[in-house]
Amino acid sequence: MASFSIEDFVGDGVLKELLPKLLEEGWDDVPTLKIMNSEDMDAINMTQYQKDALEIRTYLHDRSLMQYGDKLETSRKCLAELLNLSSKELSSQFGMKRGHIARFTDRINACTDPLPKSYDLGAARKNTGTPTRKNTIHKIQSIAKSFGRSSTYDDRSLEESLAGFKIKDGYIFKGIVAAGPAEARACGCIQPPPVVDSVAPYAAIENISVQRLTPVYKIGMEPLVKSKAPPMKASELWRDKPAVLLCIRRPGCIMCRAEAHQLYAKKPIFDALGVQMFAVLHEHIESEVKDFWPRYWGGVVILDRTMEFFKALGGGKLLKDKFLSGFLFNPRAIANYKRAKALGIAQNFKGEGEIKGGLFIVGQGGTGIAYQFIERNFGDWAPVAETIEICARLQNQQQDQGDSSKSPQEYK
C-alpha cells in the first residue's frame, strides 16, 4: 500500500526540490497534495516536467504502484503517453511485473478511492482572488457540505466525481450504531458475537485518559513524539472541533492497515468539514507505531491504555473473538482479508489481535457521540459514505446554530 510519507511520495525526482516551497504553501501532506489543480501548480511555478511527475505519482499512489515512480518519471513521458504503452514496453522499459501492469493500465479501479483530480477541472473554476489552495479546498468543502442537505453547487463535474462518497437515494442507514451483518458460522454451529444496539453514553468516553504517540504528519515533522507525552482527557481531543476516532484492533493487521489507509485518503474532505482524525491503539509497541505511521495513517495516533474506547464499543466490556471461530470459520472475515490482501499491504502478527475495534464520530465540545461503528467481523470497515454524511450533518448543525445566534444586522 502506498505510503502517506510525502518524502516517499515525491521520491528522488524533480518534485524533491519543491519540498520547501510545498511546505511554505501548505501542500504538506499527501492527500492534500494529490488534489492540486493546474492553477495551484502555476502559483508555485511548477515546470511541465514537475506537473507531469505529480500526475504520474498521484495515479501510482491510487494504485499502490509507487515503486515505479522514479523510473516512469525519468522517462519524460506524461501519464497519457505511459498508459498508451504496450504491456511488453512497460515490462522491458520499466521492469513492471505482469500483475502490476494490469493494475497500472486499469484506469477505473484504483486500490484507494481517489479524490477528484481538481486540476482536470481548472477551466470551470471561478477566480475569487484568494490563494489557489484555498479555492481548491473550498471546492471540496462546498461539495462535502452538500452531503447533509440538498445540493445547489454549480460545478457538476466535481460533484459527479465525489458522488461515490455521497449517500444515494434509497440508501438505508445502518443506524447511529452500525455493524456488519450477524451471520451464523460453520453451518450454524457458531453464533456471531452480539453487539450493542444503542450508542455508548458520552460519559463512557469523555474522561478516558489517553496519550498522544504521534503528531499529524507533515513535511519535515519529527517521525514520532520524542518525549513521552503526558496523559490527557479524551474530551480535549474534540473540545474545539468534531472528531473521527478509528479504534484499531492491531496496527500490524492487514485489514486494520487497509481500513486506516482508505479512511485517511479522504483527509481533504474531513479537513473541509472541520473534522479531526485520530487513530486509537490499545497497546503501545513502538516498532508497530513506526510501521503504521505515516505509511498507513498520517494523522494523530493516541494510546488508550485502559481500553475504555474499546469497552465502550462493546457496551461496557471488550468485544473479542477467537481466531478459529472469528476468522477461519467466518466467510465474511475471510472476504475482508482478501479485500485487504488485494491492496498489496504487508502485515505481521505482533500484539493482541482478538479485541475488536470500530469507529466513533464525536461532536464538538460535550455534544456527545454522533455515530458508532462496531467491528463485528474481523476486518469490517465503517462505511465511508455514512462517516462523511454524519460529519457533514455535524458541520451543518454548527452552522445553523451560528446563524441563529446572529443579529438581524449581521445578515445584511
Q: How far is CA 44 from CA 125, 193, 346, in A?
A: 18, 54, 36
Given the residues 111, 247, 253, 391, the one annotated as active site = 253
User: Can 253 be counted among the known catalytic residues?
Assistant: yes
Long-range contacts of 27-31 (CB under 8 A, 24+ apart): 27/133, 28/218, 28/219, 29/4, 29/216, 29/217, 29/218, 29/219, 29/267, 29/298, 30/3, 30/4, 30/5, 30/6, 30/61, 30/298, 31/4, 31/115, 31/264, 31/265, 31/266, 31/267, 31/268, 31/298
The single residue of 111, 247, 256, 391 carrying the catalytic annotation is: 256
CA dist 162 and 5 (Å) reads 24
* HEC string for 236-265: HCCCCCCEEEEECCCCCCHHHHHHHHHHHC
Other beta carbons within 10 Å of 344: 17
Cα separation, 281 vs 35, in Å, equals 29
- Count other C-beta atoms under 10 Å from residue 260's C-beta: 27
Hunting for cell 473540545 — which residue is that? Answer: 239
Closest CA to 262 of 272, 277, 249: 277
Q: Which residues pair with 372 in a beta bridge?
A: 177, 360
Tell me if residue 26 falls in helix, strand or coil: coil
Is 189 a residue of the active site? no
The DSSP bridge pattern shows strands 358-362 and 369-374 to be antiparallel
Q: Which of 145, 144, 148, 149 is closest to 161 using CA atoms?
A: 144
Residues designated as active site = 253, 256
